Amino acid sequence: MNKHYDIIIVGAGPSGLSTALHLDQLVNAERSSILILEKARHPRPKLCAGGILVDGERIIAKLGLDLCEVPHVDVDRALFNFQGRGLAARFFNKKPIFRTVRRNEFDAWLANKAKERGIKIQEETTVKKVENFDDYVLVRTSKGDFYAKVLVGADGSNSKVRASVAKSKRPHVGRALEVITPVLAISQAEDRASFDFHPISKGISGYLWDFPAKIEGETMRCWGIYDSNIVKRENRVSLRQILAEEMAKSGYNLDDYELKGHPIRWYDVGNQASVPRVILVGDALGVDALLGEGISPALGYGRIAAEEILRAFAKDDFSFRGYSEGLLRTPLGAALWRRTFIARLFYRFKNKFWQGLIWHWFKWLTVLIGMAFVIGWEKKKK
Ligand SMILES: Cc1cc2nc3c(=O)[nH]c(=O)nc-3n(C[C@H](O)[C@H](O)[C@H](O)COP(=O)(O)OP(=O)(O)OC[C@H]3O[C@@H](n4cnc5c(N)ncnc54)[C@H](O)[C@@H]3O)c2cc1C
């Protein structure tokens, strides 16, 4: 078996698959020189509410793919509330505000598209350690050692690649809890998703969500709570308890369901993005601090990483010195920077009076800020 590759990508989630698909698209890459190592086998479970915004859909379309091939729910109305009041958003052009997918299905679909284009994915291979040398990177895995000229760490928030090579260990990590339930309340229309920011008044730098989910053809609800941890809390409030109280208002007993949690690493300009011959993408480097949105950013990272890798091969310079700064000059990098900035500011306003102003009195201004600075960083296909 060949163990020497030009490019090894660790992780076949959205960021790793997008990197491979973009490499393939940009240079019609010598496919035999790219390998993706994935510890699981698709379709594999991934804890995620599966909300894909317009930016992610545009990237997928530019790759010549159609998200609608994946089972999904169109969310036509999104409610943004603070203590039960706020605003209902919908697009005038009748397009969905976002779509929800199940990640086992979406990631498996994307992996199949990569395989159809000739990209090799070696599943059930866990990367244990990575060492970068002057001329190559040594990748130690459960299936033996591999060698690459360039390595991409796309292995999620608990990235082994980052842990092996990055010096900065600053924990810019949020946490999300999630639970899947059947539909109980008539008010839970299939096309409706809601975000409630009242946990901010309890010291949480995040929000509660209630999204529709289609699981094996059945309409279900996906509930969860996100805490970016971006503003230091004085007292520890239980995320579980806040979620349980919210669900109880709609007749659910959280104890009846399986609650799962997972970290979300968010982008900060100080996060170490690369070392010589190794770059990080997606959750391994950091996604959106404000809402914990990571699928579209992960897909967006793929193109930036692919371009950076091709530049490195063209110049025969694998230092990746300019990756971090270059990222900030891209629309995705700038959007992630803005979201971290807004999150640092917004989650400081814990007082109910201020949040009331934001969501009840100045709600249209809030929408305009969201439209201008938060979503829409990926331009439409020309
Ligand atoms: C509860 C929850 C809800 C969320 N909801 C949303 C949402 O609605 N919308 C949204 O946009 N984002 C959401 N996110 C964030 C989103 O899930 C992530 O940001 C996104 O999955 C990041 O993609 P990625 O490819 O970087 O990493 P991942 O999707 O985590 O993929 C990493 C891949 O690497 C593999 N891997 C890991 N370690 C190794 C190893 N050592 N060796 C080999 N392979 C390895 C994994 O098996 C996996 O396939 C949510 C996150 C959580 C926790």
E strand map for the chain: 4-10, 34-37, 51-52, 72-75, 77-82, 85-89, 98-101, 120-122, 127-132, 137-141, 144-153, 173-182, 192-196, 206-215, 218-227, 260-265, 274-275, 278-280
pLDDT digits (tens, 9 = 90+) for 47-81: 999 999 999 999 999 999 999 999 999 999 888 88
User: How far is 150 from 152, CA to CA, in rounded Å?
Assistant: 7
Q: How far is the CA of 292 from the centre of ligand 1 (A)?
A: 11
User: How far is 90 from 78, CA to CA, in rounded Å?
Assistant: 7
Indicate the pTM of the whole model. Answer: 0.96
Q: Higher-confidence residue: 154 or 26?
A: 154
Q: How far is the CA of 233 from the centre of ligand 1 (A)?
A: 26
Query: What pLDDT band is residue 379 in, cutting at 50, 70 and 90?
Result: confident
Looking at ligand 1, which residue's alpha carbon is closest to its atom 17? 48
How far is Cα of residue 2 from the mean position of the Cα atoms in its chain? 32
> According to DSSP H, which parts of 87-145 are helical?
103-116
pLDDT at 261: 97
pLDDT digits (tens, 9 = 90+) for 149-194: 999 999 999 999 999 988 866 678 999 999 999 998 655 667 889 9
Mode of pairing for the β-strands spanning 144-153 and 278-280 = parallel
Q: How far is the CA of 314 from the centre of ligand 1 (A)?
A: 31
Q: Which domains does the chain have, with CATH numbers?
A: 4-73+99-171+266-345 (3.50.50.60)
Q: Which atom of ligand 1 has the smallest separation from the CA of 16?
A: 25
pLDDT at 102: 97
pLDDT at 230 over 90: yes
Supply φ then ψ for residue 161, to 5 degrees.
-65, -50
Task: Write down the residue that tokens 């901010």 correspond to.
Answer: 200
pLDDT at 362 over 60: yes
Query: What pLDDT band is residue 31 in, cutting at 50, 70 and 90?
Result: low
pLDDT at 247: 94
Residues having CB closer than 6 A to ligand 1 are 10-16, 37-40, 46-51, 126-127, 154-156, 160, 176, 178, 224, 262, 264, 282-283, 287, 292-296, 298
Q: How far is the CA of 362 from the centre of ligand 1 (A)?
A: 34
pLDDT digits (tens, 9 = 90+) for 339-351: 999 999 999 988 8
CB of 212 closer than 8 Å to CB of 250? no
pLDDT at 195 over 90: yes
User: How far is 325 from 347, CA to CA, in rounded Å?
Assistant: 26
HSE value, Cβ hemisphere, 13 Å, CA-based, for 198: 12
